[in-house]
Amino acid sequence: MASDRPELYLNLSVPDLAARAAALPAAGVGLMRAEFLALGVGAHPMALLAQGGEQAFVDVFAGGLETVAGAFHPRPVTYRLLDLKSNEYRDLPGGAEHEDLEANPMIGLRGAARYLERPEELALELRAVRRVVDAGADNVRLMVPFVRTVEELVAVRALIAESGLLDRGVPLWIMAEVPSNVFLARRFAAEADGVSIGSNDLTQLVLGVDRDCARLADRYSPLDPSVLAAIGRVIEGAHEAGVPVSVCGDAPSREPELVRALVELGIDAISVVPSAFEETRSAIDAAAAARR
């Protein structure tokens, strides 16, 4: 499945920048973050539900996704479901009433586990995505972040199926960010249409290093041999399951050496911030030429 030259995608957070980013010759959007949209709503999702204001949430999220999908059409746009941590949700208006104080939000109630505990929140997002898809955006992919177990993934997939999006042909991708995704890479990939490696979380969890701890910054490296070995196992497992695998974390945007390593490992796609597009393309070209 892997080629000598992986495709190059873009990471986007702000929909208003989509038109400018779409002018680049990228293959599409490998990661559309939804967190900026959550801040734009101006309230905690559960607070909106309690106040009957869920339509505002759907309008903001659908509008943002529609902007990006339209700017890049027909190139694919991979929309990652909300991945705010509990402390970030707590900071939203009304959030203190709905969020517990967690000692370590980075590995707390987030991602797939949150969708299963708060299906009402997930349903709001899926309503927004479905509205965009039903309006004609046939280039949208859906991506589930921070999946700890295969059972979680199966359960979240069932919730997404209930929304009708899978019946509409929307591909379902997952992120590989935790060691369980490495050890059981083929099993996770078999439940998805694609796998995208989140290098930020994967690096900190493989190395046991808080990525926000300045005193340990010299130990946090996506180029560490253990991290590269983990990435290699995810790629191998995904290919064994017959699905493509990409990297969408921030590291390739900062580390040309990592780009070269990813090409050597057989990655299918790399997604970077728009400002790193040209440098990353040059790194991919050099690495691909060296493989021939």
Q: What is the pLDDT of residue 213?
A: 87
| Domain-embedded: residue 1 | no
For 52, which DSSP code? T
Q: Identify the three-state secondary structure at position 128.
A: helix
Burial 127-140 (b: 16+ CB within 10 A, else e): bbbbbbbeeebebb
- Domain span at residue 45 reads 7-291
What is the rounded average pLDDT of the residues 56-80? Answer: 97
Domain total of the chain: 1
Give the tens place of pLDDT for each residue, 14-29: 999 999 999 999 999 9
Evaluate whether 190 touches 184 at the Cβ level (below 8 Å).
no
The CATH number covering residue 147 comes to 3.20.20.60
Cα–Cα distance between 285 and 30 in angstroms, integer? 19
Evaluate whether 106 touches 210 at the Cβ level (below 8 Å).
yes
| Domain-embedded: residue 173 | yes
| Domain-embedded: residue 158 | yes
Q: Identify the three-state secondary structure at position 43.
A: coil
| Domain-embedded: residue 33 | yes
Give the tens place of pLDDT for each residue, 116-135: 999 999 999 999 999 999 99
